[in-house]
Structure 1
Amino acid sequence: MSNSNREKGRESWGSRLGFIMAASGFAIGLGNIWRFPYIAGNNGGGAFLLIYLLIVLVIGVPLFYAEAGLGRKAQAGAITGMRKLAGKGSPWVSIGWLGTLAALLIMSYYLMIMGWLFAYFFNIGIGTFQGITSEQAAVIYEDLISNPLAVLGYSIIPTLLLGIIVSKGVKDGIEKFVKTVMPLLFVMLICLAVFSLSLPGSFEGVVWYLKPDFSQINANTVLAALGQAFFSIGIGLASAFTYGSYLKPHGSNLVKDGAWVISLDTCIAFLSGLVIFPALFAFQMAPNSGPGLLFLTIPTLLDQLPFGYIFGLAFFLLVIIGAITTGVGLIETLAANVAELFDLKRKASVWIIISVTFVMAIPSILSQGPWSNVQLFGMDIFGLIDYVSGNILLTLGGLLISLYVVFQWTFKRFMNDINTGTVSMKLSSAWKPVISYLIPLSIAIILITGLM
């Protein structure tokens, strides 16, 4: 299929709400409900939150516009799209390759986390967490993640679900799904945050979460905040590029819709912290418990709730839904690139990617059990993949996007392209020093000092 024919038959979002919900759903998912609290917990709470919010506002917003705008301009996936914009063989095409590699690595361990979620949903259903202490919750978590066969079995469920949803297409699969489930997730998080704040001793957790302790801030804290912002919003993952490519070139309001996406994403991240940290301090648990933070806190919290059994099932079901909305974005990104590079039909490319990522999930699953003693650069396999993809590849991808705007796109053309379809809320020339100097310099400094 030629490029021109492919573009004529290219799918597009059915509505503005569809794009906002899909991009928000990708951003919100496990990046905010699972990853944000444990990264914040490992990096000092309030100090991390402050840096994270500043990065989202100053760096995240313009780069989301840039990446989604590149996709809208190219009307293609990240790799073939950058070839169209910069020329085949251009070093700028590495933006697409880096984002696709990051998406592949993240998806490889994402299936494991989704397997944990399905396991918890099942265990709540059979009453495993009723009447348990926080210490018993920790034992249940360790027993689960160290059992590779059980995790692999549970991971098959989200693998098949993702394949079915994405293979149905952009409008009939992804858009219909996210428009139904995202409002439910938002309401459930608000309810849980209200209850968590009502627990005796929870105020200490609120103070820890909201009051910055500047002694906790170092280069690693800033790098972690930058990586989390990119992970959450979807910058450097080629996903904003892919979702942007389904926008109509002249009939979409990227400035306003992008502001909605990032606002919803940041709000959910903040709410997730208000669910987790007050409960942690109420139950006298450590905030730096790592990737298992959600799985240690929520079962203990739910046991204190009236009708906690029903609430627990509903909560984990909705977190599963949030995880699937992110997984959908990652699989769509990978499948779109494979389909365009190898001239395959959607269903074929989707199931190829599904199969590859499932096989790639096995090392991360084993690293929590039989291979837990395998350490690379002081991290297990899962930790290393998360660090390389979330902190290095996304940050490097974001840096390349910012440099592309400066040297290839140029600010004037960038501003005009992003403002296409916008009537009231426009990107102004006041952003020029931020986009041309502050963003690339900041990302480069954060990346170098964080790695050193």
Structure 2
Amino acid sequence: MNNFSKIGFMLAALGSSVGLGHIWRFPYIAGTNGGGSFVLLYLFLALGIGIAMLIGEMLIGNKGRANAFKSYEKLDPSPRKRWRFAGLTLIGGPIILSFYAIVLGWVFYYLFFVSFSLPTDMEVSKANFDTLYSQNFIAQTMGLMLVLGISGWVIARGVKKGIELLNLILTPMLFLIFLGLLIYAMSMDSFPKALHFMLGFEWEQAKKALTLSIFIDSLGQVFFSLSLGIGIIITYAASSDSQQNLFKSALFIVLSGIVIAIMAGLMIFTFVYEYGGEVDGGAGLIFKTLPVMFAHLGFLGNIIAFLFLIAFSFAGITSAISLLEPSVMYIVEYYKISRFRATWSVVGVIFILGLMIVCSLCTPLASYLTFGNKSLMDIVEFLSANIIMTLGGLLAVIFVGWVIPKTTLYEFTSHFFSSYAFKIWYILMRYVAPFITIVILIAVSVKFFVGQDIASYLFQEEAL
């Protein structure tokens, strides 16, 4: 098998998690959930349950040495091997990529067109994005094709010459660009305010902020940002060194992702505070609020916007290829066809689904691609990023915690876990992780179908 180097595996896994989850979703989720209290809760959960779950999925791939479907089959101790079907949650990757590529296409559109002509007020900025979102079929289709074309080209080149090489180049460049932008943000008067918002902790305020909904949002962010549940980590780990220290790898991935997410948040909120934006601007923070903030800096703002969007696109591409690889590896190994043919076959299917989503956004076909009050994009995003991803994560932790014999797990982890550390990890995988994933699954289902947070739906929410 064409394997990753040890550092290549860690950078590839980090690249899969950094993407839109850490740079786009983390800042706006933090902004809408009160900043510091959410961030500290997220840190606690990511460094505890996040690392434990990441190691669990890594073990499946590292010891299975095959695609997600086959890895489950190899490690399943029962004669019927029914757990192999848990590996089919890898279908979530292509489904997520069908709309993820559209969002990343927006990033490229802003990079090539908006960064050179930044809007100077919020009304113009909102109109620019609304026009792109609901009217510009050509731009969205071209963005979709560009993202899928780059992703397909990288995956077709294989593990070493494609995935690892790209991450060895883009991930350090992403960090350096963000570091440079953060250093510039530190020179601004509003940086201390952003720092306090992101990392400040006041107990009385925290007690009011730490609600059940924020706890669930934090859990969901841990899950989303670590690419759990859709075969990415299993697939990458299958191409890692058989003696890889998975604890160190997981720690590196989680800590590096946290650093990049906090860097992004500090930089973004410094600009927002400096020029009177709203920290709770939600999902439109990147595409609507920031362009106006950058415009206040004149030509320097164009440069900063360009560098920010370059870093954003780097992160997005590394995530996009990770969404594509599990299904390609499965087809190559199961159907015994070339990687080139498998890659472009999957890309073709994703493009068709993505094109349908674009049609549901900005063509007369939109009314035919709306079901109830949910658009096709809403449905696809919910099914893949919430149901399939969370269900896949639940199956993984149950498989590791309850199906693989404890003695086997101890043998698998003996080169990086002490007996005491193993006991803690085993309890997390056997009891805590399944409970958490079930909570997330129920919470996102209630929010999607009922339209309310689970806390609001079940009872009058109070602080934890």
- TM normalised by structure 1 equals 0.87
1:74 corresponds, among 64, 69, 78, to 64
Alpha-carbon distance, 1:227 to partner: 2.6
Look up the equivalent residue of 2:386 and give its one-letter code.
N
Aligned pair 1:348/2:341, yes or no? Answer: yes
Alpha-carbon distance, 1:270 to partner: 1.9
Number of equivalent positions:
437
What is the alpha-carbon distance in structure 2 between the residues aligned to residue 303 and residue 237 of structure 1?
A: 39
Which runs of no fewer than 5 residues in structure 2 stay unpaired? 447-464
In the other structure, the counterpart of 1:414 is 409
Look up the equivalent residue of 2:218 and give its one-letter code.
A
Q: What SS is found at the alignment partner of 1:307? A: helix
Moved more, 139-148 or 57-66: 139-148
- Report if the CA contact (8 A) 1:163-1:351 is conserved: yes
In the other structure, the counterpart of 1:151 is 140
- Report if the CA contact (8 A) 1:302-1:311 is conserved: yes
In the other structure, the counterpart of 1:65 is 55
- Report if the CA contact (8 A) 2:360-2:376 is conserved: yes
Q: What SS is found at the alignment partner of 1:400? A: helix
Aligned pair 1:40/2:30, yes or no? Answer: yes
- TM normalised by structure 2 equals 0.85
In the other structure, the counterpart of 2:452 is none
In the other structure, the counterpart of 2:457 is none
1:294 corresponds, among 258, 280, 286, to 286
- Report if the CA contact (8 A) 2:11-2:171 is conserved: yes
In the other structure, the counterpart of 1:7 is none
For residues 131-210 of structure 1, the aligned pairs below 5 Å read 132-146=120-134, 147-201=136-190, 203-210=192-199
Alpha-carbon distance, 1:117 to partner: 1.3
Look up the equivalent residue of 1:177 and give its one-letter code.
L
For residues 395-414 of structure 1, the aligned pairs below 5 Å read 395-414=390-409
Alpha-carbon distance, 1:188 to partner: 1.4
1:92 corresponds, among 58, 83, 91, to 83
In the other structure, the counterpart of 1:11 is 2
Look up the equivalent residue of 1:438 and give its one-letter code.
V
- Report if the CA contact (8 A) 1:219-1:446 is conserved: no
- Report if the CA contact (8 A) 1:222-1:446 is conserved: no
Deviation string 1:17-46 (CA, Å, 9 cap, x unpaired) is 111111111111222112222333344433
Alpha-carbon distance, 1:242 to partner: 0.3
In the other structure, the counterpart of 1:441 is 435
For residues 207-218 of structure 1, the aligned pairs below 5 Å read 207-210=196-199, 211=201, 213-218=206-211
In the other structure, the counterpart of 2:271 is 279
Deviation string 1:2-24 (CA, Å, 9 cap, x unpaired) is xxxxxxxx2111x2111111111
- Report if the CA contact (8 A) 1:124-1:313 is conserved: no
Q: How has the CA–CA distance of structure 1 residues 443 and 336 changed in structure 2, closer, same or farther, with 3 Å as cutoff?
A: same
- Report if the CA contact (8 A) 1:29-1:324 is conserved: yes
Look up the equivalent residue of 1:262 and give its one-letter code.
V
Q: What SS is found at the alignment partner of 2:240? A: coil
Task: Tell me how large the CA RMSD over aligned residues is.
Answer: 2.7
- Report if the CA contact (8 A) 2:295-2:301 is conserved: yes
In the other structure, the counterpart of 1:21 is 11
Look up the equivalent residue of 2:411 and give its one-letter code.
N
Look up the equivalent residue of 1:278 and give its one-letter code.
T
Aligned pair 1:327/2:315, yes or no? Answer: no
Identity %: 27
